[in-house]
């Protein structure tokens, strides 16, 4: 059974929100380490982390919402042996 478009959009938005939060939380220590060791400028670190966060979040969210729904091969019958 397919979900209505409104529920699909809400589910995708929630998934994006959760994965964005997780990605930002994981990217903060990486960005701080790059800044502390003066590996790049602050603007470059922010651009790099933004691109990383968006890429990871979209890849997780899109895969979980675009893949086909598995369908049953046979309909179960009541009382069948």
Asked if residues 24 and 53 have their Cβ atoms less than 8 Å apart, the reply is yes
* CA pair distance 12, 29, nearest whole angstrom: 27
Look at the chain and report how many structural domains it folds into.
1
In a domain? residue 52 = yes
**Rg of the chain over all Cα atoms, to the nearest angstrom:** 20
In a domain? residue 73 = no
From the CB of residue 53, how many other CB atoms can be counted at a distance below 10 Å? 19
pTM over 0.85: no
Average pLDDT of the residues in 54-81: 76
**Is residue 61 pLDDT above 80, yes or no?**
yes
Per the structure, the complete domain to which residue 50 belongs is given by 24-65
Asked if residues 65 and 15 have their Cβ atoms less than 8 Å apart, the reply is yes
Summarize pLDDT for 27-51 with one digit per residue, the tens: 999 999 999 999 999 999 999 999 9
* CA pair distance 29, 71, nearest whole angstrom: 42
């Amino acid at each position: 059974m397919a979900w209505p478009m409104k529920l699909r959009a809400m589910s995708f938005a929630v998934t994006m929100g959760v994965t964005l939060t997780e990605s930002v939380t994981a990217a903060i220590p990486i960005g701080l380490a790059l800044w502390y060791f003066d590996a790049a400028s602050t603007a470059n670190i922010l651009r790099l982390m933004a691109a990383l966060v968006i890429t990871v979040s979209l890849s997780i969210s899109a895969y979980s919402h675009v893949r086909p729904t598995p369908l049953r091969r046979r309909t179960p019958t009541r009382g069948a042996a």
